[in-house]
Amino acid sequence: MPYFSQSVQHIRSSEIRDLMKLATRPDVISFAGGMPNNDLFPVEEVDHIMQNMSADVKKTAFQYGPTAGYPPLIETLKKYLKTKGLPVDTHRLMITTGSLQAINILGMEFIDPGDLVLTENPSFIGGIAVFKAFQAKLKGIPLEADGLDLSVLQQIIKTEHPKMLYIIPNFHNPAGIIYSRQKRKALLDLLRGTNILLLEDDAYNELYYDDTIKEMTQPIMSLNTEGVEMVYTGSFSKILGPGFRLGWLLASPEIFEKAQIIKQGIDACSPNFTQVIANEFVSQGYLSTYLDKIRNAYKKRRNEMDKALKKYMPEEVLWHQPKGGFYYWIKLPQNVDSTAILKDSITNGAVFVTGKTFDPQGKQNNHLRLAFSNMKIEEIVPGVKIISEAIKSHMLAVK
Ligand SMILES: Cc1ncc(COP(=O)(O)O)c(C=O)c1O
């Protein structure tokens, strides 16, 4: 057997992954998957687009395309991103195979083994996995209700030399929070002149549930970023479908150039087939109607979760109500371990993801993530009830 590479030597199937295998019974209510709802996908709209597509465009769909992306989609996306104040004229836009590929490309472009990469704690498991694969040293910065704990960040910047900071300012996965405008600006002020690359992952930008929140979603990259090197990533996964495997990356020309060469070696180009459809979906104006529909549907689910949590959770259990996105991040009393809760919940028919999954160090385990996006809405109440019962009995046991 040849030796595994250093970067994969320590990869193991986790205890959680093994537990999750038990949760595949069809009667188990799942709050685990952070994915859109199957019944909400724009199947009819895409049917209509396909039926009305010219033969030439269909042929293009079967072909390889430019590494940076299908040119009409790049133009359509530029227009769309411009409405968010993003610097599409001075920066370059690349279509990637999901936004996870964008994070991967940036990992390859910037991380040497041992480099310090800062993330939020908690953070997106996919991002953590990428940084680990490039053998970064990871440090998580606590997340508050309005964004990163900037005093901790300031201290780290003073004493260490981080290479990159990875954040998810809108409807965080898993924490569900949104950064305040004040914190977005203060973060830029802190990073200005430090040479730390800021990676803004905006996968959930459009999933706000109230128009009052919409203005808070304005990307950090659309503010005054002078003196801060940053890259912005986004995705079609939550606004069209993850099966499209389409995301994007917006970066300075210098960063873009190397990113393009890296992508060439990974997959040459993202699927032209889905790029062609995504382009028609946005340019023919389907997106905004579709977004209204999914915001309404997810808001109903969020409200159902809210009612269920208030009714069944013991008062020692805490959470912030998410103003968008898919997740509740539930804080257990300090000495209650979320893996123990998961074991009981699975036995009784509900599943979620444990807190330590999202800790870059894989340790802190007194949280759980409940995704309310992809289950039957009528399962929310019974599912929350099962998890609440498990928490209550563990609280009694540790008293
Ligand atoms: C915060 C965040 N970023 C990126 C992604 C990756 O999305 P995709 O690769 O499907 O664009 C996800 C998926 O759940 C996510 O939650």
Q: Say yes or no to pLDDT of 228 above 80.
A: yes
Q: Does 8 have pLDDT greater than 90?
A: no
31, 69: one domain: no
Same domain membership, residue 279 and residue 336 = no
Q: Report yes or no on 14 lying in a domain.
A: yes
DSSP 178-239: ---HHHHHHHHHHHTTS-PEEEEE-TTTT-BSSHHHHGGG--GGGS--TT--EEEEEESTTT
Task: Label residue 23 by pLDDT band (50, 70, 90).
Answer: low
Q: Which residues pair with 353 in a beta bridge?
A: 369
* Residue 357 Cβ contacting ligand 1 at under 6 Å: no
Last-in-domain residue among 286, 314, 345? 286
The domain in which residue 280 lies consists of 56-286
Say if residue 189 is in the same domain as residue 252: yes
Query: Quick one: average pLDDT of 338-352?
Result: 95
Model confidence at 15, pLDDT cuts 50, 70, 90, reads: low
Pick from 286, 306, 336: which residue ends a domain? 286
Kind and range of the H or E run holding 383: helix 380-398
pLDDT(22) > 70 = no
Mean pLDDT of 208-227: 96
Q: Which helix (H) or strand (E) segment is 9 a member of?
A: helix 6-9
Both 369 and 293 in a single domain?
Answer: yes
Angle between helix axes 286-312 and 43-51 (nearest 10 degrees) is: 170
CA 353 to ligand 1 center in whole angstroms: 16
Instruction: Answer whether residue 48 is part of any domain.
Output: no
User: In terms of domains, do 157 and 180 share one?
Assistant: yes
Q: For residue 218, what are its two tokens?
A: 């304005």
The residue with greater pLDDT, 253 or 394, is 253
State the CATH number of the domain containing residue 81.
Answer: 3.40.640.10
Which atom, in ligand 1's list, is nearest to the CA of 99? 11
pLDDT value for 363: 92
Instruction: Give yes or no for residue 99 CB within 6 A of ligand 1.
Output: yes
**What is the number of the ligand 1 atom nearest to the C-alpha of 247?**
11
**Same domain (yes/no): 324, 386:** yes
What's the confidence (pLDDT) of residue 396? Answer: 83
Measured CA to CA, the distance from residue 286 to residue 278 in angstroms comes to: 10
177: number of CA atoms within 13 Å, CB side?
Answer: 22
pLDDT of amino acid 11: 73
CATH number of the domain enclosing 20 = 3.90.1150.10
* pLDDT band at residue 399 under the 50/70/90 scheme: low
Specify the residue with its C-alpha closest to ligand 1, atom 2. 203
Among 201, 246, 263, 329, say which to mutate for ligand 1: greatest number of ligand atoms within 8 Å of CB.
Answer: 201
CA–CA gap between residue 167 and residue 250 (Å, rounded): 15
Of 302-316, 355-369, 385-399, where does mean pLDDT reach its minimum?
385-399
Residues 13 and 108 in one domain: no
Nearest CA to ligand 1 atom 3: 203
- 50 falls within a domain: no
Higher-pLDDT residue of 204 and 20 is 204
Query: Is the residue at 16 inside a domain?
Result: yes
Q: Does one domain contain both 326 and 346?
A: yes
Sign of CA dihedral 220, 253, 78, 273: negative
Residue 1 belongs to some domain of the structure: no
Into how many domains does the chain fold?
2
CA of 335 to the centre of ligand 1 (A): 31
pLDDT at 142 over 70: yes
Average pLDDT over residues 18-29: 76
In angstroms, the CA 62 to CA 51 distance is 16
Nearest atom (ligand 1) to Cα of 35: 14
> With a 6 A CB cut-off, is 201 part of the ligand 1 pocket?
yes
Radius of gyration of the chain from Cα atoms? 21
Q: 31 and 78 share a domain?
A: no
Query: Which atom of ligand 1 sits closest to the CA of residue 172?
Result: 1
pTM metric for this prediction: 0.96
How far is it, in rounded angstroms, from Cα 315 to Cα 330?
12
Q: Mean pLDDT throughout 356-361? A: 95
> Do 139 and 172 reside in the same domain of the chain?
yes
| CA 1–ligand 1 middle distance (angstroms) | 34
How far apart CA 388 and CA 394 sit, in angstroms, is 10
Same domain, 245 and 324: no
Asked which of 267, 286, 305 is the last residue of a domain, the reply is 286
368 and 316, same domain (yes or no): yes
Arithmetic mean of pLDDT, 13-37: 79
Distance CA(205)–CA(240), nearest Å, equals 13
